[in-house]
Amino acid sequence: MLIDSHCHLDFPDFAEERDAIIQRARQAGIGLMLTISTRLDQFERVLAVAEAYPDVYCTVGIHPHEADDHVDVAAARLIELAKHPKVVGLGETGLDYFYEHSDRDAQKTCFLAHIVAARETGLPVVIHTRDADDDTAAILDAEMAKGKFKGLLHCFSSGQPLAELAVRHDMMVSFSGILTFNKARAVQDSAQALPMKNLLVETDAPYLAPVPMRGKRNEPSFVAHTAAFLAKLKGVGVSEITETTTANFLRLFDKVPHEAVSDRRAA
């Protein structure tokens, strides 16, 4: 089975046909979906989606765009919310200097709170970084030196040095539909160079639909197109990408119960 390691099933884009979208994902061989938190005041909505479906899990966290509204966030609050059995990761968090919807210092403060929570809980932190490679790398290097934690660079569109840093720190790197875009040669080069043990796939739905679905609203079933493209880049069969990325996801998000995985594979 494939796993969509990053989507936003709570977003209004999906509200009217969420059941049908999840059913299409199941029919496409998507065994699990991870729906991602972006604001703490909307976390209950994210959690409700995860609780409603046996094959959906979630994270808790604050997107860098929302950091200005969460400057006082404490790691303890994230740790408390992460106790729920359906919460298997922290984030998404990180740095976004492209849009700069939030102050850079506020973004860094939120990012560091998530890292503290990741060390305490053992859960992975899902990292968003855009036009902020140097600061992201500096934070990761400094914080890993204080104590290891698990991490994932999601929707990777950064440079090769950040991908290499992820490998050094035994982090995962996830590729979205961007990988399939004609002009995404640098992203494709990064995917080709990365070891298989560091790879994940995602949709980031409802955004960034892959070729041949580009221009449509993205949804978890479309992750199969990204996986197929990644297989071609790596020169392996789709089944190897499916098996490897699923195993990688389950190693990283190891709070997902084994029985949940077995049930979905049997289905």
Residues making up the binding site for a divalent metal cation: 6, 8, 92, 128, 154, 204
Contacts of 191 (CB under 8 A, 6+ apart): 156, 175, 179, 199, 230, 233, 234
* Torsion angles phi and psi, residue 203, rounded to 5: -105, -35
Q: In whole angstroms, how large is the CA radius of gyration of the chain? A: 17
CA atoms in the 13 A half-sphere facing the CB of 51 = 8
Nearest to 260 by CA among 85, 7, 94, 104: 85
CA torsion angle 38 171 167 239 (round to 10): -90
List for the chain the helix, strand, coil content (%; round to 5): 50, 15, 30
Decide: residue 215, CB within 10 A, 0-12 exposed, 13-18 middle, 19+ buried.
exposed
Pairing of strands 87-96, 56-60: parallel
Instruction: Tell which residue, 121, 171, 120, 117, has the closest CA to residue 141.
Output: 171
Taken as a whole, the chain contains a residue count of 267
Residue 81 three-state SS: helix
* Residues in binding site: 6, 8, 92, 128, 154, 204
